[in-house]
A and B are shown apart, each in its own frame.
Chain A
């Protein structure tokens, strides 16, 4: 079975530019997570989806970050405009439901210069 697929793997942008990350979860997985991982730290949850509904986005900085999962399958995370401090790895994960352990993708490493 294909795992959680994220693209791109790496992205370098200038500050104030927009950027988007894409995630295709494992087929049939209803729960989808976006995590942020700063260098040397553990992942921090940004948002969780149950199907197409964002059920926990309390940690998402809504002034510049947005996410969507329109058909309850794949998802995009957007930053506009990007700041230097947004440089990090953005991880997507999915699970059958919120009771099961999530499977993580390889992440997108964002560098803002």
Chain B
């Protein structure tokens, strides 16, 4: 199984940056790293993905370590609407996403 390790929970202040870490030491060279988030009572929502280089989109940035065994999702200015569970995952051999427990992000006003 594709295995990731994330902190169970993190807290942030509104309008401050948030760095959500993930370890994925068993990742292979061709596996993409994906981040999803899940708001309360919703299905998971795609955030960002990458292979080797750092990636930016309108939602977040993804910083990938040089050895690819870890990555960090960066929310540049957290808002109350960013409070969610954030899942880091990567494709296993069958190209299917396997989710771990995720990090519950709490944002304080």
Chain A interface helix/strand/loop/mixed: loop
Interface residues of A in 38-67 (CB under 8 A from B): 40-45, 48, 56
* Of B43, B46, B98, B101, most A-chain CB atoms within 10 Å: B43
The verdict on A42 contacting B95 (CB below 8 Å), with A101-B46, A104-B43, A104-B45 known, is no
Looking at chain B's contact residues, the main secondary structure is loop
Within 8 A of B (CB), among A68-104: 91, 93, 98-99, 101-104
A-side residues, CB < 8 A to B, are 4, 33, 40-45, 48, 56, 91, 93, 98-99, 101-107
Q: Which 8 A-B pairs have the closest CB atoms?
A: A104-B43, A42-B99, A98-B95, A101-B46, A43-B99, A104-B44, A91-B43, A107-B43
Given A98-B95, A101-B34: A42 in contact with B43 (beta carbons within 8 A): no
Q: For residue B85, which residue of chain A has the nearest CB?
A: A42
| Inter-subunit contact B41/A106 (CB<8 Å) | yes
Closest B residue to A56 by beta carbon equals B94
Q: Which residues of the partner chain B approach A93 to less than 8 Å between Cβ atoms?
A: 43-44
Q: A106–B42 contact, CB under 8 A? A: yes
B27: min CB distance to chain A, Å: 17
Quick check: A103 and B46 within 8 Å, CB to CB? yes
Q: Which of A42, A91, A98, A105 is within 8 Å of B96, CB to CB?
A: A98
